[in-house]
C-alpha cells in the first residue's frame, strides 16, 4: 500500500510540474515579441480564457504584461 501511495504522489508532482511549465511557457510567449499583438488588443485589466486540450487558463493584462492564471488542469 505504501508503494501505491508513493506512485500516486509522484504522479501528482509530475502533473504539477507539467502544469507549472505550461503556465510559464504561455506567460513567456505572451510577454514576448510574438505575443505582442495579443496584448496590444487588450485593454488594461481585460482578460480572456485560453483553453488547450488539457488546461484552461485566464490571461489578464496587468501593467502592460500578460498574467496567466490556471483555471483548471488535468486531474491526477
Supply the pLDDT for residue 61: 96
Core vs surface per residue 27-63: b (16+ CB within 10 A) or e:
beebbeeebeebeeebeeeeeeeeeeeebebebebee
pLDDT at 8 over 60: no
By C-alpha distance, which of 74, 42, 72, 70 is closest to 58?
70
Q: Is 57 in a helix, a strand, or coil? A: strand
Alpha helices for the chain (secondary structure H) = 2-31, 36-40
Residue range 15-72, pLDDT digits in tens: 567 778 888 999 999 999 999 999 999 999 999 999 988 889 999 999 999 999 988 8
- Residue 6 binned pLDDT confidence (cut-offs 50, 70, 90): very low
The phi, psi pair for 40, rounded to 5°, reads: -60, -25
pLDDT at 13 over 90: no
pTM: 0.71
Amino acid at each position: 500500500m505504501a508503494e501505491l501511495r508513493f506512485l500516486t504522489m509522484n504522479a501528482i508532482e509530475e502533473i504539477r510540474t507539467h502544469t507549472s511549465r505550461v503556465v510559464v511557457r504561455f506567460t513567456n510567449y505572451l510577454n514576448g515579441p510574438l505575443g505582442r499583438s495579443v496584448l496590444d488588443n487588450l485593454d488594461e485589466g481585460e482578460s480572456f480564457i485560453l483553453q488547450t486540450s488539457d488546461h484552461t487558463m485566464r490571461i489578464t493584462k496587468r501593467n502592460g504584461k500578460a498574467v496567466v492564471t490556471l483555471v483548471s488542469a488535468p486531474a491526477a
